[in-house]
Structure 1
Amino acid sequence: MNSTMLTEELGVAIRPMVLPTKKLVKREEIQEMVRILMHIKEEKGIRESVKKLKLSAENVLSEGGSSYNTMCEFVKNIRTS
């Protein structure tokens, strides 16, 4: 589920040719995947998606962000219970 979300929905990752649940992913394949992410211009889209995801996470976790506010409400409810 995590790999599907990261690759297909968020576009911030790539998958190995062989699923890790079916067969061991060899170091050469991992090396090639890292090389792709770091050097090939076509993967610039992944880098841009990661930057957007990072900014979004920073916003929701900062004071006034939705996750921050939800956690504050949760703690407040615990304290009053």
Structure 2
Amino acid sequence: MLGPGGTVFMVNDNVRYGGEEVPVDLILSDLARSFGLAVERIWTLPRGKGNSSQQMSAYGRSELRKCVYQWRKPAPGAGSIARGRQGK
């Protein structure tokens, strides 16, 4: 359980489904906001990841973002400031 003022760090990749990129970083951050967490930062790592072999055979190789998220649970009485997406 995350206490007030606590911070969450998570690493995740975006994915490709049916040839379309799914922005997992933005979707999960929107979900975190809906649960009352402030999105402090989203760092885009300098090297992404490739799509699956099944996707490559149908759509070619395309590098996808790999990100580190920082979310914070605001302390009681503190305003929730969502700083938005940062990084590359």
More helix by share: 1
Which structure has greater strand proportion? 2
TM-score by length of 2: 0.24
Report 1 or 2 for greater relative contact order, CA contacts < 8 Å, sequence distance ≥ 6: 2
